């Protein structure tokens, strides 16, 4: 029994001992698992140097740094950090020098963030254990980081295997003296594409890094010839150096790279022949040599490249014929030889062997003979172009075997039988683009409505058959093309009238009927095109057909190039050069999406409809060479984007409108109208004075009768004036000055203020002022206001605010005010006016323009604001030639901060909350110290707290309007944030939000900035005046990041305005923190 107790006790002690031992081992293990303190501190410094508004790093000392997000450590007793993997985390900031203390770091991936600034000094020599470095798609800048290694380690080898610095802002030469690159003996992948590196290509890298398999130097500014040294990269599989400024011939040494799979050298200035040696690169899959100056023939044995998937040699000066051996490249998916000097027939090429071919482009050469029938055996073809050649023959029914065909153009050839071609092609179920212009000369276009079978052309979006001298009428079967967006029937010999059913085509936005023999009037139904009436419908149109540039007629207002992208074509109607007559229908004003209208060289009569002023997107209007009469509507001066307006050779009369762009149009646009005057013609519009009557006539005047009439009129008028004065005084005694609804302004809106008698100061009603004005109500009368504005003289106009002009008023005591005299239909404007008065009188913030007072009466309405000495931000950025130079970076940042604070007050503090709906630079006013004030709430609407939107009529200014406003009539807080982001981009770039008549990408500031960031040319974004003054580029890049978040296409991904305020306030703090490190 005792033994059993002893054994039991011993067993218990053993269990306890094992448990205690386990605990000690556990705690010892935990203790050893704590990461290196120096590494932890370095990481903490890194985390404080970067920020992520979307998802901040939650690194802190309460947890082991080896368990932090994106961090890995080794298994050594020191637990050193070996990897930082934080791609696509939205990080902004700079890379601090503390990172260089992570001496065991082997992997660093910070790609797809918004980091900026140069890499820390000695980056590569300090982090000498790196094997993978990926900093791609950031905004790192400075000179070549490879120059920053110390020179006393010339014999050092680095274990680096992958370097990816693509899509940043690095610049300068990649010099042979780089210690890092010379010691990168294990390097396999080197990608510095999409930067601004200059100088010669770093061919020495093939000697120092014999294991190199990928070398991407594309999209930089490298110059000079391609060095023979690149031929020493014996393991190289990928060589990309396109879109640089390289010249000379392709060195033959390149053709010794037997492992090469991609050779991409497009968009340089390379010359010479394509050497036959290229056929030794039998592993080659992609060969791009397009957009150079290569000449000579395509190598006859190019068929040896049997692994080729893509061959692009277009836009060169190649001659000869297509080699027969090309048929051996049976794996080809894309073949592009367009815009060369190739000729001969295509019958020798067996296209049927290209069973994987998807895109075939042989356009703009000089091929002859029949259309190649073997093409119809390429079962996977989606796009093919033979435009601009000399092919003959007819379209074969075999084309229906190409079931995936979407894009087909053979314009400008010598094909025949248009009826047969259309009868066959209508059954191509996936065809979206069909351009057959400049063929079928002098044939008759089939016109019967039953020409098309049911379900014909179900997906056709682009149909072009212009320039063929086709006869007949506009075919009735076109009404069945419900998907068509672009229709070109120009430069034919079509007769008859324009059918009204064209207006029923739901997606049509580009119609060209010019240069035909059409007669009759413009049908009103034509102006029911829904794609041109609604921006929402137009934006929703599907444009997936843009696989290749396409032929467009010379009516394209941007260029006369034969090849052009449809995406650059404006919404347009061309009916010029016909025999049309009648008046221009007023219904034309419904097509608010239109950018181009050309009606010239017809027989139109009547007046120019005032409804044209509704086309606020209009850029080009040509009405010349018609029989139009009457006056040019002054309302057309409101078409701010119109840069071309031609009414020459009509019978117009009256004064040419002045102001806005009308002052810039040349005289030739108005010549041939003898009765036009004024404006750019510089002829007086004053009517000649009447000749005095003869003496005999004057002698017949009954002088006593005249005297009697004058005396009678005098006493009659005096009696009326006395009675009117008594009535006014009696009414004034009854008015309660505190009642804003009945405060009388006894002046009609169309009266001449100069007729107010000077002694009527006591008889004119008071201006109602709010408590914040600094005046008492008795201190300011309407008379004084009229006097202060010189009776609303044009010389006192200082701007155009919501619903009216703004005048400068200078009171007798020297005080300046801004007076907004509202215009328009007051019955429709009553609600808006009350909202502005009632809300703004309660809105008090240091960055909002104060509403000082107002007057209201059915005859006129006036708002009194504080006066801002420096006017609007728009004036300083775009109107004053000396303005931008005076807005240094500190002023611009100060303006952004102030305006954002005012908007934050409206959105989050003011009760009820306010959506501004028209944020723009002209509504940001500046006082004498350039402090920003948000003004013009005439278009504002109220929303209650916790409501997300108001449904109302869309307002705003082009260039500032958020994209979602075109999809629903909704004004939102996030829409205001978008508009404010555009203002920030204005301040950063110095550009207007929209510049007319530029390519679409560069025309809109938001699209242009996004493209510049994507292209890695960030240095071109900022206003050159800021760069010249040495402004803090790191601050500007941070602010640019904030602005780009504000203009995100997805409103739910935009920050709220308070976040913007906080980020802008943190910009300088972050800079100060960096300077103290």
The tens digit of pLDDT for each residue in 288-340 reads 999 999 999 999 999 999 999 999 999 999 999 999 999 999 999 999 999 99
Alpha-helical runs (H) found in 127-261: 179-182, 205-208
Q: What percent of the chain has pLDDT over 70?
A: 76
pLDDT at 1011 over 60: yes
pLDDT in tens, 939-983: 443 223 323 333 333 445 667 787 766 444 456 788 889 999 999
pLDDT attached to residue 403: 93
pLDDT at 1000 over 70: no
918 an active-site residue? Answer: yes
Q: Residue 943 CB: number of other CB atoms within 10 A?
A: 18
In the structure, what pLDDT confidence band is assigned to residue 374 with cuts at 50, 70 and 90?
A: very high
pLDDT attached to residue 978: 92
Question: Does 687 or 664 have the greater pLDDT score?
Answer: 664
pLDDT attached to residue 879: 77
Question: Is 821 known as a binding-site position?
Answer: yes
pLDDT attached to residue 86: 92
pLDDT attached to residue 952: 35
Candidates 361, 512, 918, 976; catalytic one: 918
pLDDT in tens, 376-386: 999 999 999 99
pLDDT in tens, 182-216: 889 999 999 999 898 999 988 888 888 999 999 99
Q: To which residue do tokens 């002209």 refer?
A: 922
In the structure, what pLDDT confidence band is assigned to residue 375 with cuts at 50, 70 and 90?
A: very high
Phi–psi pair at 895, nearest 5 degrees: -65, -45
pLDDT at 630 over 90: yes
Phi–psi pair at 251, nearest 5 degrees: -65, 140
Question: Does 650 or 1007 have the greater pLDDT score?
Answer: 650
Q: Does residue 593 contact residue 571 with C-beta atoms inside 8 Å?
A: yes
Contacts of 535 (CB under 8 A, 6+ apart): 592, 593, 966
For the segment 97-121, the average pLDDT, to the nearest whole number, is 91
Residues 909 and 915: their CA atoms lie apart, in Å, by: 12
pLDDT attached to residue 759: 37
In the structure, what pLDDT confidence band is assigned to residue 833 with cuts at 50, 70 and 90?
A: low
Assign 3-state DSSP to the chain and report helix, strand, coil percentages, each to 5.
35, 20, 45
Cα 80 to the center of its chain, rounded Å: 47
pLDDT attached to residue 758: 35
Quote the pTM value: 0.65
pLDDT in tens, 837-896: 665 666 778 888 887 777 764 456 777 888 888 888 988 888 777 788 888 999 999 999
For the segment 498-506, the average pLDDT, to the nearest whole number, is 95
Could you tell me the end-to-end alpha-carbon distance of the chain, in angstroms, rounded to an integer? Answer: 75
Long-range contacts of 882-885 (CB under 8 A, 24+ apart): 884/990, 884/1023, 884/1025, 885/1025
Residues 998 and 643: their CA atoms lie apart, in Å, by: 11
pLDDT attached to residue 293: 95
Q: To which residue do tokens 């009266």 refer?
A: 751
pLDDT attached to residue 62: 84
Q: Which domains does the chain have, with CATH numbers?
A: 532-681 (3.80.10.10), 728-866 (3.30.200.20), 873-1076 (1.10.510.10)
Q: Which of 986, 977, 1071 is nearest to 1026 (CA)?
A: 986
To the nearest whole number, what is the mean pLDDT of the chain?
80
pLDDT in tens, 406-424: 999 999 999 999 999 999 9
pLDDT in tens, 143-162: 888 764 444 445 678 899 99
In the structure, what pLDDT confidence band is assigned to residue 272 with cuts at 50, 70 and 90?
A: very high
């Amino acid at each position: 029994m005792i033994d059993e107790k002893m054994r039991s006790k011993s067993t218990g002690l053993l269990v306890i001992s094992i448990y205690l031992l386990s605990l000690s081992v556990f705690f010892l293990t935990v203790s050893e698992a704590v990461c290196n303190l120096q590494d932890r501190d370095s990481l903490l410094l890194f985390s404080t140097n970067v920020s992520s508004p979307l998802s901040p790093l939650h690194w802190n000392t309460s947890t082991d740094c080896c368990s932090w997000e994106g961090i890995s450590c080794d298994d050594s007793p020191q637990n050193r950090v070996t990897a930082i993997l934080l791609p696509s985390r939205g990080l902004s900031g700079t890379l601090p020098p503390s990172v260089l203390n992570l001496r065991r770091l082997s992997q660093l991936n910070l790609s797809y963030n918004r980091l900026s600034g140069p890499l820390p000094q000695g980056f590569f020599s300090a982090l000498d254990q790196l094997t993978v470095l990926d900093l791609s798609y950031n905004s790192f800048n400075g000179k070549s980081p490879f120059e920053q290694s110390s020179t006393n380690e010339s014999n050092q080898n680095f274990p680096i295997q992958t370097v990816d610095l693509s899509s940043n802002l690095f610049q300068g030469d990649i010099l042979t003296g780089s210690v890092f690159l010379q010691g990168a003996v294990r390097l396999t992948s080197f990608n510095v594409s999409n930067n601004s590196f200059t100088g010669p290509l770093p061919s020495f890298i093939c000697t120092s890094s014999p294991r190199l398999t990928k070398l991407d130097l594309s999209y930089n500014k490298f110059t000079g010839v391609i060095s023979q040294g690149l031929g020493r990269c014996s393991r190289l599989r990928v060589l990309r150096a396109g879109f640089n400024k390289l010249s000379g011939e392709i060195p033959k040494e390149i053709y010794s790279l037997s492992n090469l799979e991609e050779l991409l050298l497009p968009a340089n200035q390379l010359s010479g022949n394509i050497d036959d040696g290229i056929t030794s690169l039998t592993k080659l899959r992609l060969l791009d040599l397009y957009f150079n100056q290569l000449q000579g023939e395509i190598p006859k044995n190019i068929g040896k490249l049997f692994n080729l998937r893509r061959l692009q040699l277009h836009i060169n000066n190649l001659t000869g014929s297509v080699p027969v051996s090309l048929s051996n490249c049976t794996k080809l998916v894309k073949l592009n030889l367009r815009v060369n000097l190739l000729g001969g027939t295509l019958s020798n090429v067996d296209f049927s062997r290209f069973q994987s071919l998807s895109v075939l482009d042989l356009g703009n050469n000089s091929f002859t003979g029949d259309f190649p029938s073997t093409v119809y055996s390429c079962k996977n073809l989606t796009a093919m172009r033979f435009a601009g050649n000399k092919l003959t023959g007819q379209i074969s029914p075999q084309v229906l075997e190409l079931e995936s065909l979407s894009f087909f153009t053979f314009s400008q050839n010598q094909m025949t039988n248009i009826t047969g071609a259309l009868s066959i092609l209508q059954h191509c179920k996936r065809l979206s683009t069909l351009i057959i212009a400049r063929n079928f000369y002098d044939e008759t276009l089939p016109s019967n409505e039953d020409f098309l079978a049911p379900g014909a052309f179900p997906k056709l979006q682009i149909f072009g058959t212009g320039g063929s001298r086709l006869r007949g009428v506009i075919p009735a079967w076109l009404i069945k093309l419900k998907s068509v967006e672009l229709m070109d029937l120009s430069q034919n010999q079509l007769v008859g009238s324009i059918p009204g059913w064209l207006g029923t085509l739901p997606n049509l936005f580009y119609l060209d009927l010019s240069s035909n023999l059409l007669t009759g009037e413009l049908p009103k139904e034509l102006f029911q095109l829904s794609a041109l009436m609604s921006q929402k419908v137009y934006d929703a149109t599907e444009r997936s057909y843009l696989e290749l540039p396409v032929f467009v007629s010379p009516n394209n207002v941007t260029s006369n190039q034969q090849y052009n992208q449809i995406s650059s074509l404006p919404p347009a109607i061309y009916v010029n050069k016909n025999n049309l007559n009648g008046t221009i229908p007023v219904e034309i004003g419904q097509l608010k999406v239109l950018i181009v209208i050309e009606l010239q060289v017809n027989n139109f009569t009547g007046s120019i409809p005032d409804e044209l002023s509704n086309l606020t997107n209009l850029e080009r209007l040509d009405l010349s060479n018609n029989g139009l009469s009457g006056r040019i509507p002054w309302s057309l001066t409101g078409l701010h984007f119109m840069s071309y307006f031609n009414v020459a050779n009509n019978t117009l009369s009256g004064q040419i409108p002045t102001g806005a762009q009308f002052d810039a149009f040349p005289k030739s646009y108005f010549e041939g109208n003898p009765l036009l005057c004024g404006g750019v013609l510089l002829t007086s519009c004053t009517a000649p004075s009447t000749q005095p009557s003869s003496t005999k006539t004057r002698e017949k005047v009954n002088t006593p009768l005249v005297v009697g009439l004058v005396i009678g009129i005098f006493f009659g008028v005096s009696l009326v004036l006395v009675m009117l004065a008594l009535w006014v005084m009696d009414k004034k005694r009854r008015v309660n000055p505190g009642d804003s609804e009945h405060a009388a302004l006894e002046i009609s809106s169309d009266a001449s203020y100069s007729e107010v008698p000077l002694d009527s100061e006591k008889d004119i009603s008071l201006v109602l002022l709010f408590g914040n004005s600094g005046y008492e109500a008795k201190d300011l009368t309407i008379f004084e206001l009229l006097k202060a504005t010189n009776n609303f003289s044009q010389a006192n106009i200082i701007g155009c605010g919501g619903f009216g002009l703004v005048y400068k008023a200078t009171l007798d005591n020297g005080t300046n005010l801004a007076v907004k005299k509202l215009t328009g239909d007051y019955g429709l404007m009553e609600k808006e006016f009350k909202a502005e008065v009632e809300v703004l009188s309660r809105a008090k913030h240091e960055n909002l323009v104060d509403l000082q007072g107002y007057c209201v009466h059915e005859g006129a309405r006036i708002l009194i604001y504080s006066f801002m000495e420096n006017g609007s931000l728009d004036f300083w950025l775009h109107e004053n030639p000396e303005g931008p130079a005076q807005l240094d970076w500190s002023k611009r940042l100060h303006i952004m901060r102030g305006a954002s604070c005012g908007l934050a007050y409206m959105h989050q503090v003011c009760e009820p909350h306010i959506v501004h709906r028209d944020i723009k630079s002209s509504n940001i006013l500046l006082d004498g110290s350039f402090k920003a004030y948000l003004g013009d709430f005439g278009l504002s609407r109220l929303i209650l707290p916790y409501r997300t939107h108001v449904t109302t009529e869309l307002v705003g200014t082009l260039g500032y309007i958020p994209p979602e406003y075109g999809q629903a009539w909704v004004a939102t807080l996030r829409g205001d944030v978008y508009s404010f982001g555009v203002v920030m981009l204005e301040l950063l770039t110095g550009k207007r939000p929209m510049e007319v008549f530029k390519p679409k990408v560069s025309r809109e500031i938001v699209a242009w900035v996004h493209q510049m960031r994507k292209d890695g040319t960030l240095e071109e974004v900022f206003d050159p005046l800021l760069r010249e003054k040495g402004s803090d580029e790191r601050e500007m890049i941070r602010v640019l990041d904030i602005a780009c978040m504000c203009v995100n296409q997805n409103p739910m991904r935009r920050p709220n305005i308070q976040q913007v305020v906080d980020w802008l306030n943190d910009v300088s703090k972050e800079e100060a923190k960096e300077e103290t490190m």
